[in-house]
Structure 1
Amino acid sequence: MTQRHLPTRPGMQPEDWRDWAASAETIGGPARFDRAFLQCWAGTSAKMRQPALDHHLIVLHRGGPKRVKRIAGSRCHIVDVPLNAFTTIESGSIYRWDTEGPIAFAHLFVAPERFADVVSQAFDRDPASVGLAETVGQSDRHVAALFDLLIASRYDPDWAAVADDYLDALLLRLAATSASGGVFRTSGRITLTPRTIARVREFIDAHLQERISLDDLARVAGYSRYHFVRAFRQASGVPPYTYLLQMRIRAAAAMLRESDRPIAQIARDTGFATHAQFSTRFRETIGVTPAIFRGRADAGNAATASPFDTPAVRSPERAGRYNAG
C-alpha cells in the first residue's frame, strides 16, 4: 500500500478498453459487485497497450508460466511469471505489455474508493492516503486462493454477499503484503448484540426471494460492511453469507416438509436462480437432494425432517455478546 493522495479518477472506464480483446475468448462474466467487476479471458493478443484506467486493475495470471514485459516509455521491466501469480496496476498508469507463453488471465477492476474504504477501515488510515502498490508477477497463495473463490462463486445465488467478502479479504491481503505498506494497526473492536443479529435474521426472512448483499445486511445492523463482517463472524461463528445460505436452506427444508409446492418453485421462493443450483446447495448442506428429503419427510423420517434442530449457526437467542477481533 502506498501513502499518497488518492487519484481523482482520471482515465478510461474498463468497459471501454476492449480493442486488444477483439479476438479473445471471454470465459464468463463480467461479474459485477460493489464498485468492482471481474472478467476472465483467454487467447488475447500477446502485445497489449493499456491506457490510463479509472479503476485499479488486479490480474491473476492463469494458463501456465510465462514471461511478461511491462514497458513504460524507455523503461522495460521483465518478469518470469509463475502460474497463479498476480499483477497490480494503479488507476491512471499507462503501460505496454508483451507476453511470451500461454495467455489466460482474470481481470479484477476495483474503484480506488472501494480499495481506500476497505484498507482505511481495517488499518485505521486516512482514505486519502491510500493507494495501490504496483507489482508484476508476484506469487501469494492466499491471493490466488481468494481469486479462485471469486471466480468459482460467480453463479452463487448470494453472489453479492459472497463476492464482497472475498474481495475485501483479497484487497486487505494485497495491502498487508505490500512492500511499502509499513506497520499496520487494525481498528478497534465492536460488538453485535443478540437484538442486532435478530434484526439481520428478520431482514433475511423478509427478503428470501431476493439477492441480498453484504451492504444490505450491514445497513440493517448499522455498521460499515467491513466492521459488520468481522463482528458478525465473531458473534455467530460463521461469515454472513454462510449464515444467509443456511437460512435459505432452512426455509426450503420447511417448505419441503410442510407444503406440496413444486421443488422448482421452492427454489425460486428461497432465492436460488435455478432448480439445479438449489439442489446442489441443498445436498451439500443436508446430505440428500430436495426430492429425497421430501420423500423421507413424507415417510415420517424425523431425523431428516428436522435437519436444523442443532443448527450450525448460533441462534440470536444464544449468540450473546462477542467482541470482534
Structure 2
Amino acid sequence: MSQSLQHQVFQALNRSRAQLERSVQLADGLALAQWRNAHDATQYNTPGHHTFGCYLEGGYGTFRRDLPQLKGAPQRLCILPAEHQSAWVVNGELRFIHLYVSPQPFALGAVQLLDREPRELQLQERTFIEDPQQAGRFRQLALLDWQEPGERLLCSSLSQAILDQALLTQVGRRNGLQLKGGLAPQTRRRLQEYIEAHLEQPLGLAELAEQAALSSYHFARMFTQSFGLPPHRYVLMRRLQRATEQLTSSPHELGDIALACGFASASHFSTRFRQHFGATPSQYRAARCI
C-alpha cells in the first residue's frame, strides 16, 4: 500500500500526470516513492527537503527547461537540494525512484561523517549524472518489497547509504558564508565526545549546557544552530544509531541493549525504535542477520 507523503516534490508530482506506483516512509526523515510518467511537465520550488532521483526505464526525452542539452536515461541520477528550483519537460515514457531526505538526517550526517556544521554545507545540484554505485543501490531498492518489514529495513539501510555517499562526494561549503552564533568548533567536538561517552546515562539539558559553560536557554539555541537539530533530538538519534550497531554486532538481550544505549526500559526502547524505523528491534535484528 502506498503512503501519501508530505514532501513538496512528492506533492508536485501527485498534482501532475505522473502515476504513483508505490511509496513508503522509512526511518525518520527518509522516504521513497516510485513513479511512472509520460508526456508531462512539472516544476519544483525550494521544497525544503533534498531529493535524490534515479531513472529506472526510459527518460530519453526528459530534460530541465534551463538545461535542455541534458537528457535523461536509465541509471542516470539527479540531486535536487532543498533550496533548488527547476522545471521539467517529460517527452516519452519513464519510470523512476525518488528518495526524499528531510533536513535532520542530512544534519546528523554532516556532523557525524564530515565533522562540520550542517549550515556550513551545501548539497550540490546535479542533473543526469552517472554514478554506478549509487545507481546500483537504487536498482536494489526497485527489487525490494517496501511493505515487508524486513525488506523495508533494508530499504532504510540502502537509503542511508545513498545519503552518506552524497555527503562524502556531493557536498561543498556554502559560498560567501559568514556564520553567526552557534558553538565554537572545539566546543561542538567536546560535546560530541561527551555525549558519546555518556549515552547510557541520563543526559539533561543543564548537564550538557555545563559542558559548554552556557545557560540552558542559550545552549539549546546555539546547539541547534551548530548541530542542525535540538539537543534532545541529537541524543536520541545517537542512541538509536548505537542500538542498531549493537543489535547487529552483539548477542545481548534487548533489555541490556536498551540500558546500554540510555533507554529507561526495553518497552521504551522498543517504542522509540519503532517510531523511528517503522519496525521493532527484534525485526531489525532478524532482518540484518538474514
TM-score (norm 1): 0.50
Corresponding residue SS for 1:80: coil
Q: How many Å apart are 1:181 and its aligned residue? A: 7.3
**Off by >4 Å, runs of 4+ in structure 1:** 179-182, 269-272
- Match status 1:165 vs 2:157: yes
- Of 118, 128, 137, which residue of structure 2 is paired with 1:137? 128
Counterpart residue number, 1:62: 56
Q: CA deviation digits over 1:118-159, x for unaligned, max 9? A: 132111111211221100011111111222334425234245
- Match status 1:17 vs 2:9: no
> CA 1:168/1:229 → structure 2, altered by over 3 Å: closer, same or farther?
farther
> CA 1:125/1:134 → structure 2, altered by over 3 Å: closer, same or farther?
same
Q: Which amino acid aligns with 2:129?
A: Q
Q: How many Å apart are 1:67 and its aligned residue? A: 3.8
- Match status 1:100 vs 2:91: yes
C-alpha contact 2:46 2:83 (8 A) present in aligned 1? yes
Corresponding residue SS for 2:97: strand
Q: Which amino acid aligns with 1:46?
A: D
The alignment-based identity, stated in percent, is 17
Corresponding residue SS for 1:37: strand
Corresponding residue SS for 1:30: strand
Q: How many Å apart are 1:76 and its aligned residue? A: 3.4
C-alpha contact 1:53 1:93 (8 A) present in aligned 2? yes
Corresponding residue SS for 1:83: coil
Corresponding residue SS for 1:147: helix
| Distance of 1:181 and 1:229 partners within structure 2 | 32
| Distance of 2:7 and 2:158 partners within structure 1 | 26
Unaligned residue ranges in structure 1 (runs of 5+): 1-10, 197-217, 248-268, 273-277, 286-325
Q: Which amino acid aligns with 2:12?
A: W
C-alpha contact 2:37 2:94 (8 A) present in aligned 1? yes
TM-score (norm 2): 0.55
Q: CA deviation digits over 1:139-188, x for unaligned, max 9? A: 11111122233442523424564343322211121122227479xxxx9x
Q: How many Å apart are 1:82 and its aligned residue? A: 3.1
- Of 21, 34, 40, which residue of structure 2 is paired with 1:27? 21
Corresponding residue SS for 1:92: coil
C-alpha contact 2:123 2:172 (8 A) present in aligned 1? no
C-alpha contact 1:118 1:168 (8 A) present in aligned 2? no
| Distance of 1:143 and 1:49 partners within structure 2 | 24
- How many residues are matched? 207
Structure label with greater radius of gyration? 1
